[in-house]
Structure 1
Amino acid sequence: LEIIVIENRGRDVSALLIGAKEIVPRYEYICFAHDKRVVQLKPWTQGAGWSYKCFESVLKNRHVVNNIVSRFEENPRLGMLSPAPPNHAGYYSLLGTEWTENYEKVKALSEELGMHVPMSEEKEPIAPIGTIFWFRSKSLEKLMKAGWGYEDFPEEPAGSDGTLAHVIERLYPFAVQDAGYYPAWVFDDEEAALEVTNLTYMLRGLNTILYDNGVGGANYLDSYTRLEELLKVGGKYRSFLDPVLYLNYGRGYNENEVLHACNWGEKDSLRVDFRWPENMGVPLRVRFDPCEEGGIKLKSVSIHLVFSSGRKKQILLEDCVCNGVVSDDEVQFEKPDPWIDISWKSFRKPIGLEIRAQVTF
């Protein structure tokens, strides 16, 4: 047992690349694991489920560990084994968007470090999302010797995406490839069964909707193409919404106490201003409905109370209640009739509400 004191900066990535840089070369195979707490997804059981999957895949018991070591011994070009990305609950949207906002940053960093590997935004990185993984020490030699310092990483509170830590998290497999090895997913038998069950359930659900509505084709590619064309014709790339604000004066929400506003923001943006009716005063709380359809994502959500003095007070998305999946200043609505319930505490009386966001369908 060796205890190393490190700075609280750079989270798990700096712990490996800086804190453990003298330890890694001593061993041929290494398992890097850390305590994992996800707070941007609520309820927190979603993040707890992801943490469970990570640890079960790499350190479940001695049999799993021995089996992983054997895989490295039997496959001399195997460089890294990591749990597959999560796909349950709020993590579902990660399927197909594994790069999130990091692709260009990963590509730039790989070039800066002199790595020569093929990389495509259209293909998912076989990366340890969650930074819990096994690796062959030689496969990350270039990354470990890059001369990282704690000052390279943002101070806390750091963001939940787009930071250097998130970039390196997706760079790991390319560092492995650059060294002449390959990355791969790892499952124990129970996690493999769970993964197949989850993916089959989700695919079957999507197929049921496609074929029940006459969209499904003769095969996957045909179905994919028909769905894509249907979405384009249906207005997938439209920017006009029909925002509605329901006002609650203690009688609940109803169709009589409601404000409508046209969104004439720029393409793919939401920009609406609401003002309370003069004869009704300030509501106790409000419910914002951006549109009727589901399958909408609001990014960079900004909600502000407006006062007669011209001053504004921000209301954080995480302090609101909604029927979508919230992650920082983003919310993903899968079901129809999306809504955000907004309440506030203020000694001054606001005269209205302003909402801004970027929109994708």
Structure 2
Amino acid sequence: MKNRYCILQKKEGSLIKDYSTSVVVVYLYYLDKIEICLKYLKNIPQKVDVYIITSNVKLKELLEKNCCEFKNIKEIRIKQNRGRDISAMLISAKDIFINYKYVCFIHDKMAKNKDMIPDTEKWVSNMFENMLGSENYINNVLNYMKNNKKVGLMIPPAPYSKNISRWYTNSWLKNYNNTVKLLEMLGCNNVIEYKDYPLAIGNAFWCRSEALKKLYEHNWKYEDFDDEPLKMDGTISHAIERALPYVADDSGYITKVVMNNVWAECFLEEIQDDMIKTFDILSDEYGIRSLTELRNYPKRKKEILEFVGKSKEVYIYGAGDRAKDCVKYLQKLNIHIKGYIVTENLNEPDWIESGKLYSVSSVKNKNISIIIAVSINYQQDILHILKENKFRRIYLF
């Protein structure tokens, strides 16, 4: 068990005696996202300092008019319109990281097209809810970090939605090599494997500033970042957001994926609904009914193709549900089934084409390929029967 996840209470929390070492840094750019920002700014304890950074002059003016009630906002900074939230974090907010022990960094986000609006809104909700979900929740995050000295970084889950698949697919995309080069440049000694997908996507976090010291103390310049319009993938910005846990690890700290309990409950329910729909499709199309079968699919595919080889006569032993699964499986591999073998009962199920069900004693050709597709409880008995009847080419499905 990797123990990456941490679920904290949203509605209940213990008080913090000293907020003087804690700060929230927010990067904003989009005018129509101000309401979301103000909603979550209200959750920040009044003794926690807040800095807002933007490269949008109009937004800065609007914030100055609408943020008078927030006495803990220390400054609204303007920065160059290059590097977006990443340059805000590493250049404009560099002094903030140096002066505070616990730092929350978060930013707004805009859908790239109309079709992506629901997914992007869900991503934004994920970030803000799991970083600044309530005053009690913020207290719980801070207390957790104070009580767990090895925790250096707390991040929201990678985005999960119908069209943004970062949580359940390889989220390196084009960023494995540039992340490795970035870590080498920073003097980190991590060995990272491509098969180990990055935890951090989206650049929102609570951190112990010491954990990211190698990153923010680098002499970053705005020219280090790609100019607008920013590419969809493969830039230094994409590498930096993925590198965060590795920088923390190199400094001796661990990373936790943190969620508030209310958000986590909805998340788990959605995951289960999606898993049911996914396995309905996998079962109907491939005959795959479990995670074990899904994980074993590449290995089993290779084994079956090698087993069948150039054989012209392939039979399935069985006529039940596992045999039906096996047929679907073999059809995807373009393997034609000659017929179905059973021990003695010759009552053909509706799904088997007439004339293709045979008793084991009626099959005279002993050189055929037989795939046993029955419950595991009966496989060894059937294997024994087939060997007694001089069949040698047998595969257990």
> What's the TM-score, normalizing by structure 1?
0.60
Identity %: 31
Q: Distance in 2 between matches of 1:200 and 1:231?
A: 30
Q: Which runs of 5+ in 2 are unaligned?
A: 1-73, 306-331, 333-397
Which amino acid is 1:152 matched to? Answer: D
Q: Does 1:199 align with 2:256?
A: no
Going from structure 1 to structure 2, the CA distance change for 1:67 and 1:213 (only over 3 Å counts) comes to: same
Q: Does 1:99 align with 2:172?
A: yes
Give 2:204's aligned residue.
Answer: 132
Give 2:144's aligned residue.
Answer: 71
Q: Distance in 2 between matches of 1:169 and 1:214?
A: 37
Q: CA deviation at 1:210?
A: 2.9
Give 1:321's aligned residue.
Answer: none
Going from structure 1 to structure 2, the CA distance change for 1:214 and 1:39 (only over 3 Å counts) comes to: closer
Q: CA deviation at 1:86?
A: 1.3
- Pick the structure with more helix per residue: 2
Give 1:222's aligned residue.
Answer: 293
Higher Rg of the two aligned structures: 2
Q: Secondary structure at the match of 1:22?
A: helix
Going from structure 1 to structure 2, the CA distance change for 1:41 and 1:80 (only over 3 Å counts) comes to: farther
Going from structure 1 to structure 2, the CA distance change for 1:108 and 1:71 (only over 3 Å counts) comes to: same
- Pick the structure with more strand per residue: 1
Give 1:8's aligned residue.
Answer: 81
Q: Distance in 1 between matches of 2:235 and 2:278?
A: 33
1:199-255 CA-partner distances (Å, limit 9, x unpaired): 2122222222333456226x5233322367559999xxxxxxxxxxxxxxxxxxxxx
Going from structure 1 to structure 2, the CA distance change for 1:41 and 1:175 (only over 3 Å counts) comes to: farther
Q: Does 1:122 align with 2:195?
A: yes
Going from structure 1 to structure 2, the CA distance change for 1:149 and 1:214 (only over 3 Å counts) comes to: closer
Q: CA deviation at 1:187?
A: 0.4
**Residues matched between the structures, number:** 233
> What's the TM-score, normalizing by structure 2?
0.55
Q: CA deviation at 1:74?
A: 1.1
- On the 8 A contact 1:215/1:223 being kept in 2, the answer is no
Give 1:326's aligned residue.
Answer: none
Which amino acid is 1:198 matched to? Answer: E
Give 2:162's aligned residue.
Answer: 89
CA RMSD of aligned residues (A): 2.4
Q: Structure 2 residue aligned with 1:169, among 235, 241, 244? A: 241
Q: CA deviation at 1:9?
A: 0.5
Q: Distance in 1 between matches of 2:177 and 2:152?
A: 24
List structure 1 runs of 4+ shifted beyond 4 angstroms: 227-234
Q: Which runs of 5+ in 1 are unaligned?
A: 235-292, 294-361
Describe how 1:250-289 pairs up with structure 2 within 5 A.
Answer: none
Describe how 1:242-253 pairs up with structure 2 within 5 A.
Answer: none
1:89-140 CA-partner distances (Å, limit 9, x unpaired): 211365222111100110111112210123111112121x121111110001
Q: CA deviation at 1:149?
A: 0.4
